[in-house]
A and B are shown apart, each in its own frame.
Chain A
């Protein structure tokens, strides 16, 4: 292990960038007369460079990482002495890819925000602050430190939606804030209660996840605590019926906001379920598995059916997230290694595919100023590259073999089928439905009659290539060669599965299923 504080640097580099941005606000604007900001204003570049630098640093984490089950690159320091709340960072195969997904998507999201014209320095600073909070939440091993990051991301996201969003942005922002805050209110109580119990159970109060694992809790207590954690994360995922904030937030958020929201923020809920619910309360997870699986399956079908009837393409993508995240939760709670690994991979895939879908919706909106599918059509003739990109991303999202979505969905369905057949069978209909709504959306926007006002729609610009190509590369790469991911995820996934395993799982089965 190296002594370089990889995680601290990765987590706080964006925040430092945000501070720099705020300090630079007095710089002259290129187009002050219009009251807005020009495309080449320095703040955009500063934000882009900082987030790119963060990505580069996070690649350093990847090289330091060993495919082992435990936490690595651990950093520890005291924080709130009397309560023994500590600054503990560390990551395993599951959080590793969440971190990489975050650092990968953020520069692209920033690049996609070149058209934002209002209060650019503050917008970029909010995004960077958001990145720090998300990264921190993924690597915090102290429960209270995690909560700090988890709550800390609320406000920047709230600003991003509420100031730079569209239409009913304020409503969506407030709804997002209150839903999430209400969800996590009881999480705080549960964390404090858990730490309090640790004093007698472990002979010293601690919030350290690594020490709290395996702590003896009475069954009833564990169930209550499970529920408190579960509600907080289920709101974030979001799991049916706690999903109602999501369509509003996704739809009204600016493109970068939607990308980050769908790409990373939702993963935080699923990640929390793995990292805390399964780890801390394995027996209670077992007790609630039926309920969680049912909710996940309802979410898969419900999200897909509602997506079918959307005419607003952004809302359609938003509901598809509800459906896809249902798959993730299904896999996580399947209790098999395939399910868990598939769930984690699917988290990465969903981040890439849905992030890309939102980027495409953003490009469409920039060109046509509408998100109404009824007013789009025939664009493939004017913008063949955009149409091609849309098609690839849609196919990836619906799980076409050879692209990334397939690997995750297959593993999840396999893993679930092993454990319980019915949920897997019903969930499989979600795959079919996703093919319908995604291809239908593609067809309605790209084929058919071209409305007269869209005659002169331009195809991708250089900047748009710059943020779409990396995602497309990742989509294909994971689809063709998922082994590097699976190798790193499996040891950690296996460790988590053992806590709630239905039957002893063998890594070989998965390797076969993973297709390498």
Chain B
């Protein structure tokens, strides 16, 4: 049987090639000149990310080709993919910045941090563009393997090792689910291409049972990655144990990439059975919002609070996914951008307050923060208010968009659960603000302002505020990017 080889056009995966190439370069240089360590590698990584971003922007400007996919249907070349790539690259850039600062402080400035981060970013961007379940799996593994190692990057710290191991074990578990889902999908449709599966499922003669089982297993796999209840168990421990910049990157990047693939898979491949899968998505969404919000109240470590908050937010994004309409898709996309900005910003505050490594992450350390550094206190309040969905912040507009999409899809009940969960969530965000603004500090020493976290804070705060006041800035491009065709 002759094997048809597809035309080898590498342009669609050029961003990933650049990221991986630079990552390998960093590994080589680091091996040759280990003493160079920190800063130079960070600059190299940043340059790589910027180059990849330039390519993405260029591809955004050039009108899309006739083909919807490239490389034999493996990779999508639509604006949906480009949009998410850009978001992920922005997250990666901020994480490089924060990581360089953090590692310099802990004396762990080894080049492989940046290499691993670039590999993870490549996996994420590929995930956002994957048009075939095999590529989805491949990308998931690339990003996961890199993150397993990054979570344990501070290997002298036991919690970091524990985080790495826990993430690895549960991640491997979820990969197995996902792989099984792919197998069943292939069994049902005879193909692993997302568009092909959609065709097969809408045609006659497909085993519905098999298709639903496949859909369910794929959802389980994704739920692990985006930390949706009941597959969220790993999140608090891993988020707490991993070095803060890694946690920020995981919380922002992984969720954005995971949801990009989740949206594409559910909308395209599972579109024909979306009605049957709806109860599962709605159930997971409601459960995630409620459990995430309630459990956050009981935490006394800021990283655990943010971990549960990030769980709850997965539930809110799922509201948009459950709506399964055009508004839901673009609403979720807006939500993810807003979420990435505010969670990265929140972790930048954590890093600034910690000063060195993982010190001062207990909630007590936040007492009187506003007095020890007014700007930092105000930024923390901004991010927390945005996470709570209080106007005029990006978090509020994001919630309005996904809620409206869900109301439109007839899911008013889910929206009611969502707003009630937001009230519960507001309670613990407010509690943190109470600590920062209304209690007397334990130490009177001023929290110093530092350039790297400062820059990251400035960018994320600007996004959080700007998207809350002028959401049109993002909504206009979303009108073109939020369309999935196949």
Say yes or no: is B158 at the interface (Cβ < 8 Å to chain A): no
Per-residue B-contact encoding for A144-159, CB less than 8 Å = 1, 0 else: 1001110110110011
Per-residue B-contact encoding for A17-41, CB less than 8 Å = 1, 0 else: 0000000010000000000000000
Q: Which of B327, B399, B434 has the most CB of A within 10 A?
A: B434
Stretch at the interface among A177-185, A274-282, A358-366, A398-406: A177-185
Instruction: Evaluate whether A177 and B475 lie within 8 angstroms (CB atoms) in the complex, with A152-B390, A192-B403 already known.
Output: no
A178 touches B419 (CB 8 A): no
Identify A181's interface contact among B401, B423, B478, CB under 8 A. B423
Complex CA gap A80/B391 in Å reads 14
Identify A25's interface contact among B374, B399, B479, CB under 8 A. B374
Say yes or no: is A81 at the interface (Cβ < 8 Å to chain B): yes
Complex interface: chain A residues within 8 A of B399 (CB): 188
Q: How far is the CB of B402 from chain A (nearest CB, A)?
A: 10
Complex CA gap A80/B390 in Å reads 16
Per-residue A-contact encoding for B412-452, CB less than 8 Å = 1, 0 else: 10011001101100110011001001110000000000000
Per-residue B-contact encoding for A101-114, CB less than 8 Å = 1, 0 else: 00000000000000
A162 touches B434 (CB 8 A): yes
Q: How far is the CB of B327 from chain A (nearest CB, A)?
A: 7
Say yes or no: is A246 at the interface (Cβ < 8 Å to chain B): no
B438 touches A83 (CB 8 A): no
Say yes or no: is A196 at the interface (Cβ < 8 Å to chain B): yes
Identify B430's interface contact among A119, A122, A178, A185, CB under 8 A. A178
Complex CA gap A37/B401 in Å reads 44
Instruction: Evaluate whether A192 and B426 lie within 8 angstroms (CB atoms) in the complex, with A80-B471, A81-B472, A159-B437 already known.
Output: no
B475 touches A196 (CB 8 A): no
Instruction: Evaluate whether A82 and B415 lie within 8 angstroms (CB atoms) in the complex, with A170-B438, A178-B430, A192-B403 already known.
Output: no
Interface of B is mostly: helix
Complex interface: chain A residues within 8 A of B476 (CB): 81
Say yes or no: is B404 at the interface (Cβ < 8 Å to chain A): yes
Per-residue A-contact encoding for B385-421, CB less than 8 Å = 1, 0 else: 1000011100011011101100110001001100110
Complex interface: chain A residues within 8 A of B471 (CB): 79-80
Instruction: Evaluate whether A178 and B426 lie within 8 angstroms (CB atoms) in the complex, with A25-B374, A155-B385, A163-B437 already known.
Output: yes
A151 touches B423 (CB 8 A): no
Complex CA gap A42/B258 in Å reads 52
Q: Which of B392, B419, B437, B479 has the most CB of A within 10 A?
A: B419
Say yes or no: is B235 at the interface (Cβ < 8 Å to chain A): no
Per-residue B-contact encoding for A98-141, CB less than 8 Å = 1, 0 else: 00000000000000000000010010000000000000000000
Per-residue B-contact encoding for A185-218, CB less than 8 Å = 1, 0 else: 1101100110110000000000000000000000
Instruction: Evaluate whether A193 and B407 lie within 8 angstroms (CB atoms) in the complex, with A80-B472, A163-B437, A170-B438 already known.
Output: yes
A192 touches B400 (CB 8 A): yes
B419 touches A188 (CB 8 A): yes
Say yes or no: is A174 at the interface (Cβ < 8 Å to chain B): yes
A80 touches B396 (CB 8 A): no
A154 touches B390 (CB 8 A): yes
Instruction: Evaluate whether A148 and B392 lie within 8 angstroms (CB atoms) in the complex, with A81-B475, A178-B430, A189-B415 already known.
Output: yes
Say yes or no: is A169 at the interface (Cβ < 8 Å to chain B): yes
Complex interface: chain B residues within 8 A of A144 (CB): 400
Q: How far is the CB of B431 from chain A (nearest CB, A)?
A: 8
Q: How far is the CB of A184 from chain B (nearest CB, A)?
A: 9
B422 touches A151 (CB 8 A): no
Q: Using CB atoms, name the residue of chain B closest to A78.
A: B472
Say yes or no: is A379 at the interface (Cβ < 8 Å to chain B): no
B419 touches A186 (CB 8 A): yes
Say yes or no: is A173 at the interface (Cβ < 8 Å to chain B): yes
Instruction: Evaluate whether A185 and B390 lie within 8 angstroms (CB atoms) in the complex, with A81-B472, A163-B437, A173-B438 already known.
Output: no
B419 touches A185 (CB 8 A): yes
Complex interface: chain A residues within 8 A of B426 (CB): 177-178, 181
Complex CA gap A115/B300 in Å reads 37
Q: What class of interface size applies to chain A in its complex with B?
A: 35 or more
Q: Using CB atoms, name the residue of chain A closest to B381.
A: A155
Say yes or no: is B266 at the interface (Cβ < 8 Å to chain A): no
Complex interface: chain A residues within 8 A of B419 (CB): 185-186, 188-189
Instruction: Evaluate whether A151 and B390 lie within 8 angstroms (CB atoms) in the complex, with A185-B420, A185-B423 already known.
Output: yes
Complex CA gap A493/B286 in Å reads 43
Complex interface: chain A residues within 8 A of B472 (CB): 78-81
Identify A185's interface contact among B391, B422, B427, B479, CB under 8 A. B422
Q: Using CB atoms, name the residue of chain A closest to B326.
A: A82
Per-residue A-contact encoding for B450-486, CB less than 8 Å = 1, 0 else: 0000000000000000000001100110110000000
Q: Using CB atoms, name the residue of chain B closest to A182.
A: B423
B385 touches A163 (CB 8 A): no
How many residues of chain B have a CB within 8 Å of chain A? 39
Per-residue B-contact encoding for A334-363, CB less than 8 Å = 1, 0 else: 000000000000000000000000000000
Identify A189's interface contact among B391, B416, B439, B478, CB under 8 A. B416
Q: How far is the CB of B441 from chain A (nearest CB, A)?
A: 14
Instruction: Evaluate whether A148 and B391 lie within 8 angstroms (CB atoms) in the complex, with A82-B327, A186-B416, A195-B404 already known.
Output: yes
Instruction: Evaluate whether A83 and B374 lie within 8 angstroms (CB atoms) in the complex, with A151-B391, A177-B426 already known.
Output: no
Q: Which of B391, B403, B407, B478 has the most CB of A within 10 A?
A: B391
Complex interface: chain B residues within 8 A of A169 (CB): 438
A178 touches B404 (CB 8 A): no
Complex interface: chain B residues within 8 A of A79 (CB): 471-472
Complex CA gap A81/B471 in Å reads 9
Complex interface: chain B residues within 8 A of A177 (CB): 426, 430
Complex interface: chain A residues within 8 A of B392 (CB): 148, 152
Say yes or no: is B125 at the interface (Cβ < 8 Å to chain A): no
Complex interface: chain A residues within 8 A of B390 (CB): 151-152, 154-155, 181
Complex interface: chain A residues within 8 A of B478 (CB): 82
Q: Using CB atoms, name the residue of chain A closest to B418.
A: A189
Q: How far is the CB of B383 from chain A (nearest CB, A)?
A: 13
Complex interface: chain B residues within 8 A of A185 (CB): 419-420, 422-423
Say yes or no: is B330 at the interface (Cβ < 8 Å to chain A): yes
Complex interface: chain B residues within 8 A of A178 (CB): 423, 426-427, 430
Q: How far is the CB of A311 from chain B (nearest CB, A)?
A: 27
Instruction: Evaluate whether A162 and B437 lie within 8 angstroms (CB atoms) in the complex, with A81-B476, A178-B423, A195-B404 already known.
Output: yes
Q: How far is the CB of B421 from chain A (nearest CB, A)?
A: 9
Complex CA gap A149/B400 in Å reads 14
Complex interface: chain B residues within 8 A of A188 (CB): 399-400, 403, 419
Complex CA gap A497/B254 in Å reads 55
Complex CA gap A155/B476 in Å reads 30
B403 touches A163 (CB 8 A): no
B422 touches A196 (CB 8 A): no
B434 touches A196 (CB 8 A): no
Q: How far is the CB of A387 from chain B (nearest CB, A)?
A: 36
Q: How far is the CB of A252 from chain B (nearest CB, A)?
A: 11
Q: How far is the CB of A340 from chain B (nearest CB, A)?
A: 30
Complex interface: chain B residues within 8 A of A170 (CB): 434, 438-439
Complex CA gap A151/B295 in Å reads 25
Complex interface: chain B residues within 8 A of A181 (CB): 390, 423, 426
What 7 pairs across the A-B complex have the smallest Cβ distances? A185-B419, A148-B391, A162-B438, A196-B407, A182-B423, A192-B407, A192-B404
- Given A82-B330, A163-B437, A196-B404, 20 extra CB contacts under 8 A: A79-B472, A80-B475, A81-B472, A81-B475, A82-B479, A83-B401, A122-B374, A151-B391, A152-B390, A155-B385, A170-B438, A173-B438, A178-B426, A181-B423, A185-B420, A189-B407, A192-B407, A192-B415, A193-B407, A195-B404
B interface residues with partner A (beta carbon < 8 Å)? 327, 330, 371, 374, 381, 385, 390-392, 396-397, 399-401, 403-404, 407-408, 412, 415-416, 419-420, 422-423, 426-427, 430-431, 434, 437-439, 471-472, 475-476, 478-479
Instruction: Offer 27 A-B interface pairs, CB within 8 angstroms, sorted by A.
Output: A78-B472, A79-B472, A80-B400, A81-B472, A81-B476, A82-B401, A82-B478, A85-B400, A147-B391, A148-B392, A148-B396, A151-B390, A155-B381, A155-B390, A159-B437, A162-B434, A162-B438, A170-B434, A178-B423, A178-B430, A185-B419, A185-B420, A185-B422, A186-B419, A188-B403, A188-B419, A195-B404
